[in-house]
Amino acid sequence: MTLKLETAMLMAAGLGKRMRPLTATRPKPLIRVGGQPLIDHALDRIEEAGIRRTVVNVHYLADSIVAHLRARARQTGAEYLISDERDRLLETGGGLVKALPLLGDEPFLCAASDNLWLNGPYDAIHQLAARWDDALMDVLLLMVPHACATGHAGPGDFHMDGAGRVTRRKPGRLAPFVFTAVQIISPRLIVDPPSDHFSTNIFWDRAIAAGRAYGFVHTGLWFDVGTPAALPLVEAALRGG
């Protein structure tokens, strides 16, 4: 039975250091790509999948993101809840812990506001929801093959077996799949944080060790919009369809 996703978490609190100098005066989620801010690309995909409630964490230049979301809400009618990290940036794991009271008790979608993905023949979020098996999974990661990770210069992130279970890339080796920063997470995984400030990697490692971390391969396009140098590449790819 397909999971009914009611809520999404959109990570928008980062400092955008790799995108400097463009982020000197605006947060990275508001950098424009393909005619609209990065955050709108992510929210468009989320809302096309039928999710109308999104929690957004904010830290750097937070007021500009909050103002943008208020204006967007008037246009779309969607609900945007703010998880405020102005006092202290908590990183991805700490951000999830802080936002958990807003996210509810059911599995939710989590995405980054600084990556851009386009659906292929099928909606990626719908595909993730259809693949979700609550009896087997605590996290389900949307992946792209390394060769299809436009703008990504790293060695890859994960291996995946025939059943979809994921394992980490070995040190000094390449991995065939890159994580798109789009995932479904069960709240039961977000427990026993090691501190206030930590990476989601802590939760992933627990799920991998328990055999409850799975992956699914994206059938559309994905772009790593990490640096100013990546912007022309992404713009050209978008223009080319």
76-85: per-residue pLDDT in tens?
A: 999 999 999 9
Residue of higher predicted confidence among 107 and 237: 107
Q: Strands 177-185 and 139-145: what pairing?
A: antiparallel
For the chain, which domains are there?
A: 7-239 (3.90.550.10)
Across 88-106, average pLDDT: 93
> In this structure, is the dihedral angle defined by the CA atoms of residues 44, 51, 10 and 83, taken in order, positive or negative?
positive
CA 15 – CA 46 distance, rounded (Å):
23
Percent of the chain scoring above 70 in pLDDT: 98
Instruction: Collect all residues with Cβ–Cβ distance below 8 Å to 229 and sequence separation of at least 6.
Output: none
Task: Give me the pLDDT at residue 241, please.
Answer: 53
- When pLDDT is averaged across residues 204-211 and rounded to a whole number, the result is 96
Mean of the pLDDT values across residues 184-189?
97
Coil/strand/helix, residue 19: helix
Indicate if the alpha-carbon torsion angle 48, 130, 120, 93 is positive or negative.
positive
* 18 pLDDT tier (thresholds 50, 70, 90): confident
At 20 the pLDDT is 86
Find residue 55's DSSP bridge partners.
9, 81
Q: Hey, what are 113's tokens? A: 């506001």
Give the helix ranges, DSSP H, for the chain.
38-48, 62-76, 91-103, 124-131, 201-209, 230-239
Residues near 32 by beta carbon (within 8 Å), at least 6 away in sequence: 38
List CB contacts of 62: < 8 A, sequence separation 6 or more.
Answer: 13, 27, 84, 85, 86
4-33: average pLDDT: 88
Rounded to whole angstroms, the Cα distance separating 186 from 211 reads 14
237 vs 231: CA distance, rounded Å: 10
Per the model's pLDDT, the better-predicted residue between 2 and 127 turns out to be 127
**86 Cβ neighbours under 8 A, 6+ residues apart:** 58, 59, 62
